[in-house]
Amino acid sequence: MLETVKKSTIIILGILFSISAGSMLLLRYYEVDLVHTIVLNAVIQKAPQGYPRQEISQAFAAARRRAEQDNREEAYLEELFSFSRRLEKIQLLSRVELEELLKIGDR
């Protein structure tokens, strides 16, 4: 009986470890996409009234494509984190601030 419990416990722990490891790998694989989407939505929300959402989305999509093509996704991710920290402190973006942000990936 005790051996059965030990085996079951080991099997359950192995399954839980596998699920955890798989989740971590999956999150790491999609990390750039997740952060990209979060920052894009924050920029859209904080954009000046009437600023075309399409223009913001296109700028971010182009920056994402360039990062993939140039194999600089880690640098792009760091740039997104930097923008995220800046956006935390800002209620609304001015046109000048937004246009500077839309140069994402050009640095």
In-domain check, residue 5: no
In-domain check, residue 96: yes
In-domain check, residue 12: no
Closest residue by Cα to residue 60 from 16, 104, 98, 3? 104
Residue 1 burial (CB < 10 Å; 0-12/13-18/19+)? exposed
In-domain check, residue 41: yes
In-domain check, residue 53: yes
In-domain check, residue 19: no
Tokens 């989305």 — which residue?
57
In-domain check, residue 20: no
Task: Tell whether the model's pLDDT for residue 107 goes beyond 70.
Answer: no
Those residues whose C-beta lies under 8 Å from the C-beta of residue 40, and which sit 6 or more positions away, are: 56, 57, 60
Q: Which domain holds residue 60?
A: 30-101
pLDDT for 47-64, tens place per residue? Answer: 999 999 999 999 999 999
In-domain check, residue 37: yes
The domain total for the chain is 1
pLDDT for 78-103, tens place per residue? Answer: 999 999 999 999 899 999 999 988 88
CB contact at 8 A, 8 and 53 = no
